Amino acid sequence: MLIVTSIYAGITWWQARYTKKTLIESIKQNREERQPYIVPTIEKVRGGAFDTSTYIRMQLSFEYKLENVGDSSAVTIYTFLYARLRYQSEKKKVYAHLIPEYIHSLRVNQRLGQRLHFETREFRDIIEDLEICHAKNVKRIEIDASVSAFRGPAIIVQVLYQNMVGQWFESILEQELSDIEKLSKKAQKEVEVDGEKLKIRNPGKRVTNANIKAGDYYEGGMINPSYSRFSRKMVDFDYVKKVLEECSEYSDSSPDEIG
């Protein structure tokens, strides 16, 4: 009886241990599979200039959307906006104003519109980069049009967010800004095609730093999203603090305030 009892006790202990291990693996696998997955998209690029009596202030706004296409909610969401300049060696990256944009949570399949903007100095840097790019492309066409076109500044939307168990993730969209045009007061006109009235936008004049005036209204153009770059990865808390520290002068929050 003692031997039989010992055998039963051993089997019971082994079953309990196996069940516990299976449960832990199941929970771990569930956490790995059921994760938030935020995808940013740039919707519109608009800007304007106005007189402040001491200088002409300019703003370039990027309206974007964040969509959670994952299997669980995302929380503690920070969004950053940068422009990576290609032709100015002294400034490789310029930051948007008042970053990061904070959202408390984003449910599964929820899509939320937000907006961040560049201020005067950064706007002028972006325009200068576009001017250099345009000049290089004009020269390229004159010399050899078969050479690949020079590219404009890259606009980067960076999103840092947590899952429900506190792990951090990063999603990055990198898309090229192709031009910025000044729109006329009558930016749209109606035309009639086969008896149907359609609205079309009048082509604007390309903006340069020399032709900016108070009261101007601008619209930016992005390249086709199919030519953009998107990446997502898991990151650690130290990486999140480092990102916040890099843009601290443009932010209202401190890296130590992150939960």
Could you tell me if 152 and 176 are in contact, meaning their C-beta atoms sit under 8 angstroms apart? Answer: yes
Give per-residue pLDDT as tens, 80-139: 999 999 998 666 889 999 999 999 999 999 999 999 999 999 999 999 999 999 999 999
Check: CB of residue 183 under 8 Å from CB of residue 102: no
In 162-173, which positions are buried (b, 16+ CB within 10 angstroms) versus exposed (e)? bbeeebbbbbbb
SS3 call for 173: strand
- Residue pair 139/131 in contact by the 8 Å Cβ criterion: no
Domain boundaries, the chain: 35-257
Question: What is the residue-level pLDDT of the chain in tens, covering all 259 positions?
Answer: 777 666 666 666 666 565 556 555 545 544 556 899 999 999 999 999 989 888 899 999 999 999 999 999 999 999 999 999 999 866 688 999 999 999 999 999 999 999 999 999 999 999 999 999 999 999 999 998 888 889 999 999 999 999 999 999 999 999 999 999 988 655 555 555 566 665 555 556 888 888 888 888 999 999 988 889 999 999 999 999 999 988 887 765 544 444 4
Per the structure block, which two tokens stand in for 104?
């408390």
Question: pTM of the entire structure?
Answer: 0.78
Query: Whole-angstrom Cα distance, residue 209 to residue 212?
Result: 6
**pLDDT at residue number 193:** 58
Distance CA 133, CA 209 (A): 14
Cβ-in-10-Å burial (0-12, 13-18, 19+) of 48 comes to middle
Predicted pLDDT of residue 29: 44
Give the CA angle between residues 124, 43, 48 to the nearest 5°.
35
Structure confidence at residue 26 (pLDDT):
45
Give the pLDDT confidence score for residue 183 in this predicted structure.
80
- Helix, strand, coil % over all residues of the chain, rounded to 5: 30, 40, 30
Q: How far is CA 178 from CA 64, 137, 227, in A?
A: 17, 12, 12
Q: For residue 46, which phi and psi values (nearest 5 degrees)? A: -135, 155
In this prediction, residue 11 carries a pLDDT of: 64
pLDDT of 42 reads 96
Residues 176/220, Cβ–Cβ less than 8 Å: no
